[in-house]
Structure 1
Amino acid sequence: MLTALLYLLVMVFVGAMLFFVASAVFGRSEELSPIPPGTTFTALPVAGVTGNHVRELRFQQTLRGYKASEVDWALDRLGGEIDSLREKVAYLEEVAAQSRKAGD
């Protein structure tokens, strides 16, 4: 009986020590204020997205992969950037074609 009590006391002591070490390492359960809905920590510049921006893009990991809302947001931003660049290219090609016609 004394051995069982001794084992129980040792287990309680080890558990308490693990709790205090974990508390010291991981903080005091302080929480950050929540981020506003629809926002993310994933960052891209407002305009002028470059290949390096895309290569440096990181998403929050979840249990089954990446957080879908962050990936969707990044794809929407990149799609908008591609559309914008295509519009600029089309406009510049039109201007170049008009200047070629004017030069003929």
Structure 2
Amino acid sequence: MLPVVIANANTTLTQRILKPVIQYQCEREVDHSKIWKITTYLMNEENKKKLKLETCDCVSNHALKDIPAQELAKATVNEDIKQEVIRKAMLNSLKACVISSKSKSEI
């Protein structure tokens, strides 16, 4: 039982460490996403900025949920793995978060 508790604690710590990195990366890269370009094509800049913040917050909160704990642990000590985890995490959650944030802003 102890190794599971330690693994869970390390995963949580890793997620807390990587969350702001994912948020930052999302804010830098979201403009290049096809789903983002299509979704925001007719929006004004103020609404795009608000939607980007909401979307990237969603991405940073949900992105690491489907990444295995072992991969997260490796990301803390290897920069290449960290960048790959961040990229994979963003891609996994970006589309759902754009759609979710867009739906909320229309209500």
Please, what TM-score do these two structures have when normalized by structure 1?
A: 0.29
The structure whose RCO (Cα within 8 Å, separation 6+) is larger is 2
Please, what TM-score do these two structures have when normalized by structure 2?
A: 0.28
